[in-house]
Amino acid sequence: MSLGITVSGLSLDYGDTRAIDDLSFELDGGKIYGLLGRNGSGKTSLLSMIAAFRRQTAGQITVDGNEPFENAAVTSQICLIRESGDVFETDTVKNVLKFAADFRPYWDADLAARLVDRFELPLKKRVQALSRGKRSALGVTLGMASRAPLTLFDEVHLGMDAPSRYAFYEELLNDYLEHPRTIVLSTHLIEEVASLFEEVIIIDRGRLILHEPADEVRARGVAITGRADAVASFTQSMDVLSTKQLGGTSQATVYGALSDERRRDAAEAGLELGPVPLQDLFVHLTDNKRGDR
């Protein structure tokens, strides 16, 4: 089961501050989406409204065609895991899991037990006594084992160490393959998870910058390597994001896809073309110094 999301003209104000600014997009559902944005770009606000934790100032959200706010039929299908955890600090890990098992309609106890084991979660400890990494692992376990048709992870994995993060990516992908559903993962550390995304949504200052299949986003950047003078003349009128030089060789990262003709020109000039990491394109697209685009 998978739920689609439609967001139209969505805005959210905190007092005088506009956190989400006239945002519109549509997700078909059944895919793994990457929600990318810098700190403070509005990722948490957006996910909180989709999960009905918070009401919007203006605009509309529908999940599977229905508004989620104060609508139990919809919210029971949604699981949002935020970095804060949204669990009782004085509860033990065991009780937190038991509560989720009672409360979550699609809870998979076997999966929960396996994740507890893999992340070495101490069942008897209270949440407040957990390290940041273990607390994140608890959030990940709750989100995964809930197996909600719409599962939202808000930067929850960032507190984990690298081996645990990679374990999370592996578990997430394998479970998604067995139980396809709509998963949204927000992060600003993109490279490690980029290969999991089918579509990417980039927001900045509460506005939509881009929503495209991940492969198409990647195709928007090209790294051009070769003799410094050849690279310089080839990239003369292009949007060059960065240049690296090593002796007589240089590599320029440019924004914008190359036509077949330009690719032939590059080959004739002895230049090598390569892909650009998603992270570099993200940095470019959300660099405020470049102004509005």
Partner 1 sequence: MFDDRSPIYRQIAESIKSDILSGALAEDSQVMSTNQYAAAYRINPATAAKGLRELLDEEILYKRRGIGMFVSPNAQEKLRAEHRQSFFSDVVDPMIDEATTIGIPLSDVIDHIQRKDG
Binding site for partner 1 (CB under 8 A): 31-32, 169-170, 173-174, 177, 195-198, 213-215, 218-219, 274-275, 277
Nearer Cβ to partner 1 (3/130): 3
Question: What is the DSSP pairing of strand 182-187 with strand 150-154?
Answer: parallel
List of residues 6+ apart from 26 with CB closer than 8 A: 4, 5, 6, 7
Min dist CB 168 to partner 1, Å, is 12
- For residue 227, the minimal CB distance to partner 1 (Å) is 14
Specify the residue, 5 or 194, whose C-beta has the smaller distance to partner 1: 194
Q: Rank residues 3 and 97 by Cβ distance to partner 1 and give the closer one.
A: 3
Nearer to partner 1, 48 or 251 (CB): 251
Minimum Å gap between C-beta 287 and partner 1 is: 22
CB of 177 to partner 1, least distance (A): 5
> CB 213 → partner 1: shortest distance, Å?
8
Q: Which residues contact 178 (CB under 8 A, 6 or more apart)?
A: none
**β partners of residue 213:** 199
> Please, what is the minimum distance in Å from the beta carbon of residue 129 to partner 1?
33
> Which residue spans within 190-271 are E strands per DSSP?
199-204, 207-213, 221-227, 239-246, 249-255
Min separation Cβ 293 and partner 1, Å: 25
Q: What angle do CA 24, 201, 223 make, to 5 degrees?
A: 135
* Nearer to partner 1 among residue 51 and residue 278 (C-beta): 278
3-class SS of residue 33: strand
CB closer to partner 1, 61 vs 266: 266
* Residue 133 backbone phi and psi in degrees, to 5: -65, -45
Are the C-beta atoms of 256 and 239 separated by less than 8 Å?
yes
Phi-psi category of 215—alpha, beta or left, where left has phi over 0 and alpha has psi -120 to 50?
Answer: alpha
Alpha helices by DSSP H, listed for the chain, are 43-50, 72-75, 93-103, 109-118, 132-146, 162-178, 214-218, 228-234, 260-268, 278-285
Contact 62, 6 (CB under 8 A): yes
Least Å distance between CB 28 and partner 1?
A: 12
Beta pairing, strands 199-204 & 207-213: antiparallel
Which CB, 34 or 85, lies closer to partner 1?
34
Nearer to partner 1, 23 or 172 (CB): 172
CA 250 to chain CA centroid, nearest Å: 32
